[in-house]
Amino acid sequence: MAKKILLTGDRPTGKLHLGHYVGSLANRVKFQKEYDCFFIIADYQVLTDHIQDTKQVPQNVEEVILDWLSIGLDPKQSTFFIQSAVPQLAELTMYFSMLVTIARLRRNPTIKSEAQNVRVDSDKDNITYGFLGYPISQAADILLFQPDIVPVGEDQLPHIEQTREIAEKFNSLFGKVFKLPKAIVSENSRLPGLDGKSKMSKSLNNAIYLSDSADEVKKKVMTAFTDPTRIRATDPGHLQGNVVFTYLDAFHPDSKELDLLKERYQKGAVGDVEVKKLLIEVLNNFLEPIRIKRKEFAKDKKYLHKIITAGCEKARGVGEKTMQEVRRAVHYDYPGLLG
Ligand code: TRP
């Protein structure tokens, strides 16, 4: 039997961080053998809020590919491709754009908060058509490949919900072409940033990157938010909202040992510095093999070229098959006139 299909991806805005790993990358690795995977590098999406920065996109695309390879995504099993290199995505976006109202787009909470970050307002007229509408393009990213599952971070759930609505609407108007994909979110998917204030994010400058050196990890962890009520190491410590323990929960390989440490911390029997030192060790043990692989892959530009060219070609092939069905369903395949 054919494998089920998985699709997900990232924006090429720079190197990926631990928040990406916990939210989505770890699930990709887990599902890679079982599913036929498509991984999209969403370069069109950079245009929504960073249109002045397209010059950096080629470098960022390369960083994303290197991050993917170094955490163990395998182009022999999976398809890596670039959004703008698959024209069928733009074509499908055109059809989908007729199925969504402006009011519905404005209700998407992720759009609202992303707009705020770049000081536009999704309720006013200073947001571009492409920004407000990018969930439609994302629905095309997903549905063109007919996936069963879409592993994403929590912030992407509104987009998957909208994708499902679009699929339903299309199917009800033109007959069943699309199946409804399911979002998969990992347990502790919303990794906070080092400051503990919000999620880990490049723009908030509170991230640990998969490619950070051992020294950078050490420096960053030392600044991490812990328990502000605690003055001395003998004061009872709190775990709630404590970034260092949240990271240990996500990355410590031995949960029993971690439980003991938590008990001691809550009793005031262990200081913040000791806990931070442990976290540095845990993170560096996790990151070291990733760093080594990343360096190896970075040397082999020919290999990167090869896998991306092949991936984009495969994505166009799969996409063209779906588009033939779409054009036929809409009656825009013009038998007798075209083809
Ligand atoms: N919006 C996603 C992000 O910002 C990237 C993305 C684009 C994506 N197309 C997708 C994710 C399709 C999952 C499926 O990270």
* 307/284 same-domain check: no
* 159/247 same-domain check: no
CB atoms within 10 A of CB 52: 7
Q: pLDDT tens digits, residue range 198-242?
A: 889 888 899 999 999 999 999 999 999 999 898 888 999 999 999
* 166/240 same-domain check: no
Query: What pLDDT score does 148 carry?
Result: 98
Q: How far apart are CA 294 and CA 178, in angstroms?
A: 37
Q: pLDDT tens digits, residue range 28-52?
A: 999 999 999 999 999 999 999 999 9
Residue 273: which CATH number? 1.10.240.10
- Residue whose Cα lies nearest atom 9 of ligand 1: it is 138
Q: Is the CB of 142 under 6 A from ligand 1?
A: yes
Range list of β-strands (E), 11-96: 35-41, 79-82
Query: What pLDDT score does 135 carry?
Result: 98
Q: Is the CB of 17 under 6 A from ligand 1?
A: no
Mean pLDDT of 176-194: 91
CB atoms within 10 A of CB 263: 11
* 219/322 same-domain check: no
Q: Which residues pair with 9 in a beta bridge?
A: 40
Determine, yes or no, domain membership for 306. Answer: yes
- Residue whose Cα lies nearest atom 7 of ligand 1: it is 42
Q: Is the CB of 139 under 6 A from ligand 1?
A: no
Q: By CB neighbour count within 10 A (0-12 exposed, 13-18 middle, 19+ buried), where does 277 fall?
A: middle
Q: How far apart are CA 247 and CA 278, in angstroms?
A: 11
* 162/309 same-domain check: yes
Determine, yes or no, domain membership for 325. Answer: yes
Angle between helices 272-299 and 57-71 (to 10 degrees): 110
The pTM for the full model equals 0.95
- Domain holding 18, by residue range, is 5-191+301-330
The closest of 131, 139, 133, 187 to 159, measured between CA atoms, is 139
Determine, yes or no, domain membership for 43. Answer: yes
* 58/153 same-domain check: yes
Q: Is the CB of 141 under 6 A from ligand 1?
A: yes
260 vs 203, residue with greater confidence:
260
Query: How many domains, the chain?
Result: 2
Say if CB 144 and CB 88 are below 8 A apart: yes
**Centroid of ligand 1 to alpha carbon of 238 (angstroms):** 35
Q: pLDDT tens digits, residue range 77-86?
A: 999 999 999 9
Determine, yes or no, domain membership for 127. Answer: yes
Query: What pLDDT score does 214 carry?
Result: 97
Assign 190 a pLDDT band (cuts: 50, 70, 90): confident
Determine, yes or no, domain membership for 205. Answer: no
pLDDT surpassing 90 at residue 324: yes
Assign 285 a pLDDT band (cuts: 50, 70, 90): very high
* 16/141 same-domain check: yes
Determine, yes or no, domain membership for 15. Answer: yes
**Centroid of ligand 1 to alpha carbon of 294 (angstroms):** 23
Which atom of ligand 1 has the smallest separation from the CA of 138?
9
Name the residue of 38, 83, 138 whose CB sits within 8 Å of the most ligand 1 atoms, as the mutation to test its pocket: 138
What is the arrangement of strands in the sheet containing 149-151, beginning at the earlier edge strand?
Answer: 79-82, 35-41, 4-10, 149-151, 182-184
